[in-house]
Structure 1
């Protein structure tokens, strides 16, 4: 099929390349000239495992192209919207500027009978509003939320755990048939497909992210209790995780969640609930957010305590800058936040991340960045493990102790074995352990 993808950031670029890999002809549209030039040359503007390969393959095959000109979408049968919905600068709600701009850009060039498919995470009620705008133009609208995990985005696009179609009742059958044609090769693998109304499809993403955020903050709240009682939150998570009603996933205590989705999505959901007069229904999300932010403060406090309250001028190695491993995304990153806070307290912070160095350097040039893991560790008086990269987990405690000035480690992700590190002479502190 002929497809367009509006917005070539994280979501849009992955979706465009993935759709081309399924055999469709795809044009990606973005207003960022430099980004379009880079993608057109087969270069990814961010790190995502597997994206390089399908991006280059799509371009080489002629099925994938990128442009800044909306006129390039004229032949497309389906237009995907994959633009960002960041938190508003003046409030907790989602900024819909980019979504509205995408609609405005599509309509003058979309042929009659074509379908606009929203993938961006939006406040409930957005699809119904936009449907009223596009309907007079002879264009249909559906909402098809994305459920991508950074680090696994390519797999989650071409082999998702479910597909959700939010459709207008008046054109339900036609819209479902069109999306089924787009996702034909995915549906052949018996991927679950749920057809809902607009509001339900919008709420699926908000509810899913809110649940995941709540689960993470719950175990971090338990870590706070564990820290004052002497309990071990990792063993606690193992024990309750055996209950199939609870499950072990997302029960890893640490310095909390970050990224471009969970933090802003739970805030936007709470703000929308307030607008709907049902703020009390999700009032707990404010506490979820507060617990999450407290864990960052806890790591900073532990570092300060390791210097008897005097961190000024002391060398701290912060291992990790991305909000999660297998990504260079530093949006609302707990790791980067910890580094910035410690720098603000006068510590000599030296940071290292396998992938996020350049993105972090552009955002925070005031920090000191090591060219290698060894450089970050050399002479450190306290080591903070802030992102759970595999190479940090695999550090040899004895060898690492020979590189640092003082063998003190704050395991902000609970990925090191406490006994092993203590036996190697380290003062080890985990999160709720």
Structure 2
């Protein structure tokens, strides 16, 4: 298909997923209109500012605003008139009253868009949703859209890693599209949108709607299980006197297991894995197959125990009590190369230690402002050296390169006591011990 005949694309929801998807679709040569009901977010994106930290995204955004392929709006009618393919990229947070996913934003997007669709169009969901959501959404669209059956719904889960969102959108490791039986437009639309990736040999899988919905939550459940497995081995290693890092390395040589996501430490957080495995369990319960996912309760519990164990190690290093002590925490984001603090293990640990009477100072290269808004009770520093000043114990809780490469001699000049808890197993224990530091880490002697 020649460029002039390409479908026009809308992206509904301009949070992390939506803003990244909109900018990258424009980068692939499509005309894209992004929509959000948050005018502050739209104003920021329209002026070329990404309202969160994601390496490389601001350059892609600015380039495609300048060349005219990308723009933003708050008007659903404009979106309906403009686009042939509509991507739903709104959030599905955990509900306040249960572990289930909150579909408020998905339902609101469909209810606002569908009544305006008076010509053939395709709606593609990318939000992570409980299995069965797409079928209900398809029926809702058919009921509300003036074009009726000429509007088809598909579901194409996203697999973005924060910190690598641009790369993962432009060059994903697979593309999955779910469509209802007899659907004609959905697969054709996704093949057009994904043509460049397909030509590069990236796998393109067509499934039913339910299978597509399960792919993302199944992947996250598997990754969470692998992380919690090695952290369970860390618990055993600590008691047995073994070294979980060497254990993980030995396991990684088995190509049935591999080394990815086999890094023991403080555990996972963020806006995906924790809420997705809880929502998966809740949906299994609704479907009457709760025992099939009961193991995920222990996966979640192991992950939470790592936070408590980190606190216990730090408390032991300073004599058994945090009351009146000075503590430095390096890291606030749930992972490096992100400013996302949702369910951040680092901030959870920092806040708990503060509640136990310590004066806690936090430093993070990108997440300070988000952390300050969420936890105004904590102290904050604008550099690593400032954060560790007079600290009686230092906790490394997000493995930014700045922290991995820290000079123990430089930090020693600032701290009151040379004691460090490596919550991410990011440092060389022998190097730090040789420089006079008392070094402790999860799962290591």
Structure 1 SS opposite 2:394 = strand
Structure 2 SS opposite 1:99 = helix
Question: How far, CA to CA, are the matches of 1:111 and 1:256 in structure 2?
Answer: 48
Partner of 2:57: 51
1:65 to 67, 71, 75: 71
Partner of 2:181: 169
Partner of 2:268: 257
Q: Does 1:342 align with 2:386?
A: no
Partner of 2:3: none
Q: Which runs of 5+ in 1 are unaligned?
A: none
State the 4+ residue runs in structure 1 displaced beyond 3 angstroms.
none
Partner of 1:142: 154
Q: Deviations over 1:160-200 (max 9, x none)?
A: 000001011111x4321111111111111011011000110
- Return 34-43 or 302-311, whichever deviates more: 302-311
Structure 2 SS opposite 1:195 = strand
Q: Does 1:93 align with 2:104?
A: no
Question: How far, CA to CA, are the matches of 2:21 and 2:401 in structure 1?
Answer: 27
TM-score (norm 2): 0.96
1:112 to 111, 119, 128: 119
Partner of 1:215: 226
Q: Deviations over 1:121-160 (max 9, x none)?
A: 0000000111111124221100000000000000000100
Q: Deviations over 1:66-86 (max 9, x none)?
A: 111111212200000000000
Report deviation, 1:32: 0.8
Question: How far, CA to CA, are the matches of 2:38 and 2:127 in structure 1?
Answer: 18
CA contact (8 A) 1:94 1:123 kept: yes
Partner of 1:131: 138
Report deviation, 1:398: 2.1
Q: Deviations over 1:302-324 (max 9, x none)?
A: 11112222211211110000000
Q: Does 1:3 align with 2:9?
A: yes
Aligned residue pair count: 432
CA contact (8 A) 1:75 1:111 kept: no
Q: How does 1:228-239 map to 2 (within 5 A)?
A: 228-239=239-250
CA contact (8 A) 2:122 2:185 kept: no
Structure 2 SS opposite 1:180 = helix
Q: Deviations over 1:7-41 (max 9, x none)?
A: 00000000000001011111111111111100010
Partner of 1:75: 82
Question: How far, CA to CA, are the matches of 2:180 and 2:410 in structure 1?
Answer: 62
Partner of 1:411: 422
Question: How far, CA to CA, are the matches of 1:398 and 1:424 in structure 2?
Answer: 7
Structure 1 SS opposite 2:430 = helix
Partner of 1:356: 367
RMSD: 0.8
Question: How far, CA to CA, are the matches of 1:424 and 1:109 in structure 2?
Answer: 67
CA contact (8 A) 1:76 1:110 kept: no
Report deviation, 1:251: 0.5
CA contact (8 A) 2:23 2:60 kept: yes
Question: How far, CA to CA, are the matches of 1:328 and 1:56 in structure 2?
Answer: 20
Q: Deviations over 1:195-224 (max 9, x none)?
A: 000110000001000000000000000000
Q: How does 1:150-229 map to 2 (within 5 A)?
A: 150-171=162-183, 173-229=184-240
- Return 358-367 or 395-404, whichever deviates more: 395-404
Structure 2 SS opposite 1:108 = helix
Question: How far, CA to CA, are the matches of 1:75 and 1:67 in structure 2?
Answer: 11
Partner of 2:4: none
Report deviation, 1:111: 3.7
Q: How does 1:262-411 map to 2 (within 5 A)?
A: 262-411=273-422
